Structure 1
């Protein structure tokens, strides 16, 4: 019985992944508003009933794609920061840079998704979700940097996070990986120059 259950779970996961991949392609080609559920299931080799069973509809499919994308970002950044710590890096800014490099590398690898989510063509409530995620990203960076809760520190962490976000916009519109890497390197130089938690004399 356990073997059958494991097989069914694997098949369900595979079906879900096939639909997400098909949705990624269809949404990237047509945008959310113009995308058609029938096109997604046809490309996934599945059925409309199966899509509604796994996701509930086009909106939920789009949001699941976004959540998977964000989870990949977070996992890569956290792993990169952990590796830097294991290598003896203790400077909070350098740890942030390690995480930012992983984040921006992921932006290049999934540039079709980043462009999709940047364009603002999403279901109702998506912009609010993006803003909420953005605030959480700032909070996580503040923890990593050991920033205090005072207004200047909050402002500096927000600026720093914005630099990474704007770098991602440039990365995903780069023509080549080399050009994207130049943007990433430039962003890291700027972060180091800002030294965000250093107070002026």
Structure 2
């Protein structure tokens, strides 16, 4: 059996330490919110030290933001890979592709419902709201590309409205009591997207 080199062992240990701290932070922030969360409790649950936390993240704020970025990256990866698979399967209609991405996004909202509740309705460090709004604008831009929308006011409004529908659905999914209830919200969101008929709205010419 091949032995790990010193470099690969250090990388593996660093990655595991970071993962353990993020998991502990997820639990503590979800239970207490940002302001009331205690760094000592995070490192205790992670089986690490305060010094290690500051070494890897820099502090409580940076730890919170790293958790947010990981959460958003998981959303984006799931949606993008699902849309890519749909395209490979021959799906071409932009609305069908948007719905495929929406289903993946909302599945992640249920899987990480504690984080959705934290980041949507909980408190956060200074600058977090700006970061969240910036992410939201980027999400709208990505949906506009997927829907092949133009840049006029009607296009921007319609894409923003659809994105808001998906975001509010994520909030409801995350606060659902059961998975069955969450799935009902997902189907309602999909039906609403279809009823809005974004392609017609984006091109209202006869």
Q: TM-score range by the shorter chain?
A: over 0.9
Alignment RMSD, CA only? 1.2
Runs ≥4 in structure 1, deviation > 3 angstroms? none
Cα contact 2:21–2:46 (8 A) shared by 1 = yes
Q: Name the residue aligned to 1:139.
A: 141
* Separation in structure 2 between the aligned mates of residue 134 and residue 200 of structure 1, nearest angstrom: 29
Per the alignment, residue 159 of structure 1 pairs with: 161
Corresponding residue number in structure 2 for 1:43: 45
The Cα shift of 1:137 comes to: 0.1
Q: 20, 25, 28: which is aligned to 1:23?
A: 25
SS at match of 1:197: helix
TM-score with structure 2 setting the length: 0.96
> What TM-score comes out, normalization by structure 1 length?
0.98
Deviation, 1:200, is 6.1
Structure 1, unpaired ranges of 5+: none
For residue 11 of structure 2, the aligned residue among 9, 12, 29 is: 9
Unaligned runs of 5+ in 2: none
Deviation at 1:154, TM superposition (A): 0.8
Instruction: Determine if contact 1:156/1:197 at 8 Å carries over to the other structure.
Output: no
**Count, aligned residues:** 201
